[in-house]
Amino acid sequence: MINTVLNLSRGQKSGIFLWLDMMLVPLAFQAAWALHTNGPALQGEAHLWAYMLLMTVTAGVLSAQLGLARTQLKDYSGTAVIRSAVLATALSALFGLLAVIDGIALHPGILIIFGLVYFVLYFGLRHLLLWVVTQIYRRSSAVTRIAIYGAGQSGVQLARELRGRAHLMAYAFLDDNAMLRGMNLDGLPVYAGIHAKRVAERYKIDRVIMAMPTLSESKQALIARRLEAMGLEVLTLPYFAQLIGGEEIMGKLVPTNPANLLTREPLDEAMTAGLRAYKGASVLISGAGGSIGLELCRQVVSCAPRKMVLFELSELALYTAQTEIAALAETAGIEIVPVLGSVADQVLVARVLAAHGVDIVLHAAAYKHVPLVETNARAGVANNVLGTAVLAREARDAGVKRFVLVSSDKAVRPGNLMGASKRMAELILQDLAERSNQTIFSIVRFGNVLGSSGSVVPLFQDQIARGGPVTLTDERVTRFFMTIQEASRLVLLAGSFAAGGEVFVLDMGKPVRIGDLARRLIKVAGYSVRDAENPDGDIEIVTTGLRPGEKLHEELSLRKGMQTTAHPKIIRVREDHLSEIEVASGLRDLRDAIEAGSDEGVIEVVARMVREYAPQSLPGDAPQIRIARARKITETPAE
């Protein structure tokens, strides 16, 4: 029966409503006659029965003309109620007119009661049917029950469009605006966001749609994670969907979980070893306001540390991170300490490590945007290399137990200065690990993460939201991808079972063609690609050419001989490293070049220390650079 009701076509439903509108005429007149005469129901008045038959047909015609038979049950409000009152009044007046024409003395009270009874029966029957259908929908697995998070313009527009979809039913709004709580918007009640679980249980909600396009991504992500923890599917409504007005917006919904864009199995198992290593510890996260750093903070909170020190150079990023993490840590009694400053500030770093008794350092602070570091060599290398050297050495001197460097696949055979600076940071840590008796130094290397600041996914989404075009550097470009959540969890795991000096590589799966990713994002947003095969498509893809220092394909390791670890997605690799003298000499020369303000000198030192790196161009083409470039050309790449 439930499936029969759900599978009724729009025409079949309209036919049922039309038949009910007609059958109410004799029922209403019988009730009106009995109420007015206080006697038995109408029986032998043949002429009245003839009128009633005519009025029944007329009711069907008027209902169709007024559009009542086509009005869905959940839309029966406002103007639809007024139209049903007009129908009842018209039928009553027409009945009286026929009686006058035929010379029948029909008391006006009967006509008035007939109109009122018809309207009451019509109104009550529609609401009874709505209740019955709602109960059917609540009990059917074929219907998706929805709550809309955001009771603004976008949310109301979305609620109206949902009414046109038989297998989707919106039950309530969720909103954090205290002024809206308890209100009823477009037929749906508004509840506080904090009561989401109660609303989900009451209405058996399956899915929540985030209709707050102007809310920051970090706050939307925080709300989405809380809802997903309740077992709800969460979709988000892009800002562009609000602007297009007349177009349907259901097709613009995208999943909040970026893992849906990848063809890899998600990381579902619990973080057991990580919990033991970080529980009760004082943990410092550098770059805490960045994409990776902030996600590391979120996941460290779940490990129940004693204290978390959020170290960040950007005031705004630190404020945002502190606000979010403090809210997460409040119930667990974790102390949150925000520290504003640079990891290259030796005095500040030493004071922070000592004052807060730091046990574990997760070093995620880095300048990572390839073109920016390429054109700002001195600043980029100073932060990525000298900052790492200062933080690592001070951590060793302070007796920190574990130090984990978050590195990049761009450090492997680097084709740009950013990658070379990350490889130089790795070399510094490898050298310290050789001579450290107390601090366990380790390196975790992985590729791109979906949704991180400056990554292609937010860029493509912004370009799609503006109507295109989507820009690709080269159709052949491939990159390794994983989600921020998975990468951060594996970083914590790898750091927890490191013994010292290891370079861990995360299993990134197969490389993804950036062109395919762009097309997938366009499709997910509800658009089509405009190209030679589809000239009427929505979004065009434009190729701009490789940027300085950009490679077609990235690697995760320089050499063969990878070893498995306690986790199947974490691999240990063997990497060559420099001697203590070479590292000390390189750092000394690098500091001199930075103090001299020489970008060329900085690049020269990096190329000398990172043997696989050869800058594409450099004024004067220093001899050391030419040697490095020749070495790169003559050496056979590792497979």
Token pair listed for 30:
């019988």
The distance of Cα 451 from the centroid of its chain, to the nearest Å, equals 8
For residue 207, the surrounding DSSP H or E stretch is strand 207-210
Question: How far apart, in Å, are the Cα atoms of 638 and each of 135, 503, 549, 596, 612?
Answer: 64, 17, 20, 37, 11
| DSSP secondary structure of 233-265 | EEEE--HHHHHSTTS-SGGG-EES-GGGGS-S-
Q: Which residues pair with 77 in a beta bridge?
A: none
Helices (H), 470-556: 484-496, 514-524
d(CA 537, CA 6): 34
Q: What is the arrangement of strands in the sheet containing 233-236, beginning at the earlier edge strand?
A: 184-185, 188-192, 168-175, 144-149, 207-210, 233-236, 254-255
> Is the distance from CB of 428 to CB of 467 less than 8 angstroms?
no
Asked if 624 and 402 touch (Cβ cutoff 8 Å), the reply is: no
How far is residue 396's CA from residue 436's CA, in Å, rounded to a whole number?
7
- What's the CA gap between 242 and 236, in Å, rounded? 12
Nearest C-alpha neighbor of 489 from the set 284, 221, 300: 300
What the block records as the tokens of 364 is 């995620």
Residues in the chain, overall count? 639
**Segments in 262-376 forming alpha helices (H):** 272-278, 291-301, 315-329, 346-355, 370-375
**CA distances in angstroms from 533 to 222, 475, 527, 540, listed in the order given:** 41, 17, 15, 12
DSSP bridge pairs for 580? none
Q: How many CB atoms lie within 10 A of CB 228?
A: 14
Instruction: Select from 13, 27, 14 the least CA-distant residue to 67.
Output: 14
Which residue in the block uniquely carries the two structure tokens 């025409």? 11
Active site residue 410: yes
Residue at token pair 């050789």: 434
- Classify residue 403 as left (phi > 0), alpha (psi -120 to 50) or beta: beta
For the record, the structure tokens of 477 come out as 């470009």
Distance CA 600, CA 622 (A): 9
* Pairing mode of beta strands 188-192, 184-185: antiparallel
Report which DSSP code applies to 382: I
Catalytic residue, chosen from 410, 422, 551, 569, is: 410
CA distance 370 to 385: 15
Tell me whether strands 335-340 and 360-363 are parallel, antiparallel or unpaired.
Answer: unpaired
Calpha distance 624→635 (Å, rounded): 16
Tokens of 599: 């970008």
Question: Quick one: which of 54, 80, 57, 82 has its CA closest to 69?
Answer: 80
DSSP state of 42: P
Three-class DSSP labels, 515-540: HHHHHHHHHHCCCCEECCCCCCCCEE
Active site residues: 410
